Amino acid sequence: MSAAIEIPGANVTATALRRVAMAEGPDDRAFAFDPQGAVTLDVFLAEVRGVAAGLPEAGCAINLCEDRYRFLVAFCAAALRGHTVLLPPARTPAAIEEVLRQYPDSYCIADIAPASAPPRLHVLPETLPGHDGPMPDVDPDALAMIGFTSGSTGTPKANPKTWRSLRISTAQNVAALRHLWPQGEVLPVIATVPPQHMYGMELSVLLPLFAPVAVHRGRPFFPDDIARALSDAAAPALLVTTPVHLRALVESGVVLPPLAGIVTATAPLPQSLALAAEQRFGCEVREMFGATEICIVAHRRTACEEAWAAYPGVHLHPQPDGTLVEAPHLPAPVALADLVELRDGNTFVLCGRQADLLEIAGKRASLGDLTRRLQSIPGVIDGVMLQLDVCDVTGVGRIAALAVAPGLDETTILEALRQAIDPVFLPRRLRLVDSLPRNDTGKLPRAELLRLLA
């Protein structure tokens, strides 16, 4: 099979091939696995052809599959029919309905029929059909997928990705992680994040397609489930997770098999947690920086590094209200809300977001730092600080907070905050809740937070 991406050190370029293979590697390499064993690449491709034959003639495909292997089959089967895959920000009926309103010619693919079945639903059969044939290929400039932002800062936005851009960005990820497993071997990957999220897509869907990687078909959630999934791997695996899951693992005391490494994203990773995880599990913890709009563009070993190392060819241009990002896989520069400070050697540090910066009574703070101080209070399991949309008579948005803190009351938490932050940034509204409405990747949709504060 001809490779469509070359990785000569720092240079990552797409070839001029008009069409490119849908997957890379020998037919008999492990592509996916579960407790029953491995599925080889040739079996996967046969099932892609079989499922593609039964899909609608036209339209976009909303991929709702929970099983990661079946998600991959459905993703590639839709591509084989020339259909763009849509990845809604959530798999709730409301989120699916909104995507269907924007793309009315769409159909849905699921491995299990949801309780509230959307229109034009295609449910995969229990036994996937398999068809022989040549290696499926795609037009590199065809639209492979449209990912939607999570809505944590407002309304979800659509972000189209071509096959060419996905292959180039995947090559960058492979180059950043390649030192974690021996040359010539297949790396097992276990992911706690859903494949519908861009981070999950990059490291648990695109990696097995374009690199010597085999992915676990499940999405373990609790520490014991993660340990069992890791024990299914034939070699030390890469754990793709989030800070929320990683903290639960560290605090659970669960014993994990040897790991090739841990990768985390979707929320800031405290250095103390990164260090504790490295010491606890005896492997490197690599934090990735990216967004649905740009994919992953930088990484760092958070336990011992403050600055992020941008991928080769990635250039960041600070702006008054954010950062302009140039990258080999982006057709044009993309503006992010993140504020950065450039350092030597194409490295940078994050300084928060313009929308998170607060100025009250001539004093400044960031919501990220205030949230970290809330979460560091003994007895607070989880928490978040936010600024409300409605301004008071002074024109300043009020600060509010939600906390998960069994055994504590509002007065105790406010007194602890008073010792840690300037009084002007104390939350005017503090509500104790049983849990925060984190989505599949640990993010907090703003609309859900406001609902809890209402």
Strand partners, 232: none
Residue 390: per-residue pLDDT: 57
pLDDT of res. 184: 92
Lowest mean pLDDT among 67-71, 77-81, 282-286, 443-447: 443-447
Most trustworthy range by pLDDT among 46-50, 360-364, 420-424: 46-50
Of 172, 183, 155, nearest in space to 210 by CA: 172
pLDDT at 362: 64
Whether 271 shows a pLDDT value over 50: the answer reads yes
Domain ranges in the chain? 5-352, 361-453
pLDDT at 5: 34
What pLDDT, on a 0 to 100 scale, did the predictor assign at position 154?
A: 54
Quickly list DSSP for 130-165: ----SPPEE-TTSEEEEEE--STTSS--EEEEEHHH
> What residues form DSSP beta bridges with 366?
357
pLDDT at site 118:
82
Least confident stretch, 11-25, 252-266, 415-429 = 11-25
Is residue 93 within 8 A of residue 78, CB to CB? The reply is: no
CATH architecture of structural domain 361-453: 2-Layer Sandwich (3.30)
Between vectors from CA 436 to CA 356 and to CA 404, what angle results, nearest 5°? Answer: 100
- In whole angstroms, give the CA distance from residue 88 to residue 339: 27
- Say if residues 360 and 370 touch (Cβ distance below 8 Å): no
pLDDT at 315 over 60: yes
**Between residues 151 and 430, which one has the greater pLDDT?**
430
pLDDT digits (tens, 9 = 90+) for 392-417: 555 567 899 999 999 899 999 999 99
Going across the sheet that includes 213-216, the strands are 37-40, 30-34, 213-216, 187-191, 237-241, 259-264, 285-291, 295-300, 308-310, 347-353, 338-343
pTM: 0.83
Provide, rounded to the nearest whole percent, the portion of the chain with pLDDT above 70. Answer: 92
pLDDT surpasses 90 at 119: no
The answer to whether the CB of 190 falls within 8 A of the CB of 240 is yes
CATH superfamily of 5-352: ANL, N-terminal domain (3.40.50.12780)
Least confident of 32-41, 72-81, 292-301, 426-435: 426-435
pLDDT interval class at 305 (50, 70, 90): very high
Burial of residue 391 (CB within 10 Å: 0-12, 13-18, 19+) is exposed
pLDDT of 33 strictly over 80? yes
The pair of structure tokens assigned to 112 is 């299990």
Q: Mean pLDDT, the chain, as a whole number?
A: 89
Q: What is the pLDDT of residues 243-259, one digit of tens each?
A: 989 989 998 999 999 99
The answer, yes or no, to whether residue 206 has pLDDT greater than 70, is: yes
Per residue in 221-242, pLDDT tens? Answer: 999 999 999 999 999 999 999 9
DSSP 265: -
- Nearest alpha-carbon partner for 53 in 82, 71, 77, 21: 77
Q: Is the dihedral of CA 371, 373, 376, 378 positive or negative?
A: negative
Segment 300-320 shows an average pLDDT of 96
> What's the rounded mean pLDDT across residues 291-318?
96
Q: Is the pLDDT of residue 312 over 70?
A: yes
